[in-house]
């Protein structure tokens, strides 16, 4: 099993993540979080909310912030007036180029299907065009292992390779746009070449109808991002919450995208959750705030346990930027399936508020009573947008936490989750089911439960109980034993080091709370 297969297996086995509607064969791109998974994902969202909004102090300059600022929250609806999506550009432009295979009926994102030829080792790249047969496989030359590219065409490629002797695989860029090259291309799983269609734009928004009539007048969309709910409420928030620029509005919620090719477990799903901030500031200060949010968001992942060796902050080149964006950076993580985006931080200028002003006819300018120049007091603020995915962050934390080691000569799987994220913070065990130990353990369990997510477990040998909780990511296991009955002390075992310390029974909560801060 490769690293990702092991993670998917432990996620299923321990009740973190299940395929959606599994008893009916599942639904591609949709996932359900089980008892442990729901706690983990809630902790990810809660950590984001507390760190970004709930615990933010707007009376002082915090960290490297250019100035003090305010943060407030919002929970807008998933269904909105469809004109929101015309203004935002999603109706006209939120599309991926897709390619269909007429034989296998599979659909691919054109930019995620690589076309390659096989040439003899000493041939130049130009000889590819005259290759008899080209091959299409999901992936990217250089990033996808050659074995994975070759896998859908193994038999045919083996024959060609035999005839050619020493050979190499050469990409054929833009082959899908060229009718002649497409005709020579063998799709994954197809028996004949030429079954792929030319790329066509495919809008990613899920359409539905509101009300009894299913006609054009009742069309609505499931939101593809939470951000627009914030922009359309900008005036409401300014009018009701006394926030002054600079300030941010944060929102956590579901988003839906009809992804052509959902893949890599929960990484690219059709239903997922976003954690987005729209941060409003003066145009001349936008660059400084952009840098602040970019660095702060990167650090958030580090603080919660992602290794900096696997985390990157990638600034977009000018030709990668959306037409309205002044700057954009991605926080990327090295997942087992490759380096991929966790979060994007963009300087969106005043694009969104300007679009909504034009489309709604409402004046969304901010009145800045701190501005000394009277003529400059009304303006559209600029926006910095840190946009994160709760499911992607959860997956990254799970990947980073997964580890295998040996304890006392026995192999164990352990999820080294940051204590803030761990679904269960403490497990309480009686060493044996007699001598009053279960009663003492239950009393402690009930006491801890009031302040921490705690689990009581009396089933099986003590070693097996430790293993179960290592795999669930529980950072502390508390055992009631014979000494507890004599001395009122318990052992607290730490998950990662397996170190055990004796702690007075009355001090367990304080001990764990203190250790969780380490």
What residue ranges bind ligand GAP (CB under 6 A)? Answer: 225, 227, 257, 259, 268-269, 272, 274, 276, 341-344, 385, 387-389, 391-392
- 487 exposure class (CB count in 10 Å sphere: 0-12, 13-18, 19+): exposed
**Token pair belonging to 511:** 């001990």
Signed CA dihedral, 265, 271, 277, 280: sign only = positive
Check if the beta carbon of residue 68 is closer than 8 Å to that of residue 245. Answer: no
Q: Which is nearer to ligand GAP, 226 or 454 (CB)?
A: 226
Q: Which is nearer to ligand GAP, 131 or 286 (CB)?
A: 286
Any idea how long the chain is? 518
Those residues with Cβ within 8 angstroms of residue 431's Cβ, 6 or more apart along the chain or in another chain: 437, 462, 479, 480, 481, 482
Query: Residue 81 Cβ, how far from ligand GAP at the closest point, in Å?
Result: 18
Cβ-proximal residue to ligand GAP, closest one: 389
Q: Which is nearer to ligand GAP, 100 or 330 (CB)?
A: 330
Q: Which is nearer to ligand GAP, 340 or 413 (CB)?
A: 340
Q: Which is nearer to ligand GAP, 389 or 438 (CB)?
A: 389
What 3-state DSSP class applies to 438?
helix
**Token pair belonging to 78:** 């998933």
Q: Which residues of 445-472 are buried (b: 16+ CB within 10 A; e: fewer)?
A: bebbeeebebbbbbeeebeebbbbbbbb
Q: Which is nearer to ligand GAP, 138 or 475 (CB)?
A: 138
Beta bridge partners of 71: 248
Check if the beta carbon of residue 206 is closer than 8 Å to that of residue 197. Answer: no
Q: Which is nearer to ligand GAP, 253 or 344 (CB)?
A: 344
Query: Residue 241 Cβ, how far from ligand GAP at the closest point, in Å?
Result: 22
Q: Which is nearer to ligand GAP, 39 or 330 (CB)?
A: 330
Check if the beta carbon of residue 48 is closer than 8 Å to that of residue 296. Answer: no
Query: Residue 299 Cβ, how far from ligand GAP at the closest point, in Å?
Result: 17
CA angle 254, 260, 262 (to 5 degrees): 60
Query: Residue 391 Cβ, how far from ligand GAP at the closest point, in Å?
Result: 5
Scan for tokens 């709604």, then name that residue.
360
Query: Residue 227 Cβ, how far from ligand GAP at the closest point, in Å?
Result: 4
Alpha-carbon torsion angle 257, 260, 262, 268, nearest 10: -50
Query: Residue 225 Cβ, how far from ligand GAP at the closest point, in Å?
Result: 4
CA 156 – CA 146 distance, rounded (Å): 15
**Token pair belonging to 115:** 């076309």
Q: Which is nearer to ligand GAP, 294 or 465 (CB)?
A: 294
Residue 488's nearest CA partner among 475, 507, 501 is 507
Query: Residue 267 Cβ, how far from ligand GAP at the closest point, in Å?
Result: 6
Query: Residue 180 Cβ, how far from ligand GAP at the closest point, in Å?
Result: 34
Q: Which is nearer to ligand GAP, 229 or 430 (CB)?
A: 229
Query: Residue 269 Cβ, how far from ligand GAP at the closest point, in Å?
Result: 4
Query: Residue 393 Cβ, how far from ligand GAP at the closest point, in Å?
Result: 7
Query: Residue 343 Cβ, how far from ligand GAP at the closest point, in Å?
Result: 5
**Token pair belonging to 199:** 């790329």
CA 74 – CA 315 distance, rounded (Å): 29
Check if the beta carbon of residue 297 is closer than 8 Å to that of residue 312. Answer: no
Q: Which is nearer to ligand GAP, 207 or 378 (CB)?
A: 207
What separation in angstroms does the CA of 270 have from each of 109, 222, 255, 275, 391? 14, 11, 8, 16, 11
Signed CA dihedral, 203, 208, 210, 211: sign only = positive
Q: Which is nearer to ligand GAP, 392 or 425 (CB)?
A: 392
Query: Residue 414 Cβ, how far from ligand GAP at the closest point, in Å?
Result: 26
Beta bridge partners of 134: 185
Alpha helices, DSSP H only, in 94-215?
146-150, 154-164, 179-183
């Amino acid at each position: 099993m490769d690293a990702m297969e092991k993670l998917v297996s432990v996620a299923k086995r321990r009740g973190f993540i299940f395929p959606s509607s599994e008893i009916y064969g599942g639904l591609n791109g949709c996932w359900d979080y089980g008892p442990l998974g729901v706690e983990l994902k809630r902790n990810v969202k809660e950590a984001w909310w507390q760190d970004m909004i709930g615990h933010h102090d707007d009376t002082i300059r915090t960290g490297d912030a250019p100035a003090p600022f305010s943060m407030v929250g919002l929970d807008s609806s998933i269904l909105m007036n469809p004109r929101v999506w015309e203004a935002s550009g999603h109706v006209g432009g939120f599309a991926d180029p897709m390619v269909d295979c007429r034989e296998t009926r599979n659909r691919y994102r054109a930019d995620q299907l690589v076309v390659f030829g096989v040439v003899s080792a000493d041939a130049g790249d130009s000889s590819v065009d005259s290759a008899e047969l080209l091959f299409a496989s999901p992936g990217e030359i250089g990033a996808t292992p050659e074995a994975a590219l070759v896998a859908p065409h193994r038999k045919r490629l083996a024959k060609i390779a035999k005839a050619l002797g020493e050979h190499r695989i050469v990409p054929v860029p833009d082959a899908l746009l060229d009718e002649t090259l497409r005709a020579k291309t063998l799709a994954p799983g197809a028996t004949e070449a030429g079954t792929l269609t030319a790329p066509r734009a495919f809008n990613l928004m899920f359409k539905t109808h509101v009300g009894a009539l299913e006609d054009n007048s009742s069309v609505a969309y499931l939101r593809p991002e939470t951000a627009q709910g914030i922009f359309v409420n900008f005036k409401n928030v300014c009018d009701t919450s006394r926030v002054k620029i600079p300030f941010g509005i944060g929102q956590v919620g579901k988003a839906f995208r009809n992804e052509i090719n959902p893949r890599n477990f929960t990484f690219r799903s059709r239903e997922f959750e976003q954690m987005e901030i729209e941060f409003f500031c003066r145009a001349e200060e936008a660059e400084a705030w952009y840098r602040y949010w970019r660095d702060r968001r990167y650090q958030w992942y580090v603080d919660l346990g992602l290794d900096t060796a696997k985390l990157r902050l990638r600034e977009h080149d000018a030709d990668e930027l959306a037409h309205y964006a002044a700057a954009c950076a991605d926080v990327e993580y090295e997942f087992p399936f490759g380096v991929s985006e966790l979060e994007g931080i963009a300087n969106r200028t005043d694009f969104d508020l300007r679009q909504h002003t034009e489309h709604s006819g409402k004046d969304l300018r901010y009145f800045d009573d701190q501005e000394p120049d009277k003529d400059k007091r009304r303006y559209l603020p600029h926006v910095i947008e840190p946009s994160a995915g709760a499911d992607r962050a959860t997956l990254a934390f799970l990947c980073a936490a997964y580890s295998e080691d040996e304890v006392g000569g026995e192999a164990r799987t352990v999820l080294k989750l940051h204590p803030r994220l761990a679904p269960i913070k403490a497990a309480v065990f009686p060493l044996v089911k007699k001598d009053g130990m279960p009663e003492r353990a239950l009393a402690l369990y009930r006491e801890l439960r009031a302040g921490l997510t705690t689990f009581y477990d009396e089933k099986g040998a003590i070693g097996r109980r430790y293993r179960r909780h290592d795999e669930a990511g529980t950072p502390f296991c508390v055992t009631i034993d014979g000494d507890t009955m004599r001395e009122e002390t318990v052992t607290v075992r730490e998950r990662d080091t397996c170190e055990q310390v004796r702690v007075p029974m009355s001090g367990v909560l304080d001990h764990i709370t203190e250790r969780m801060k380490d």
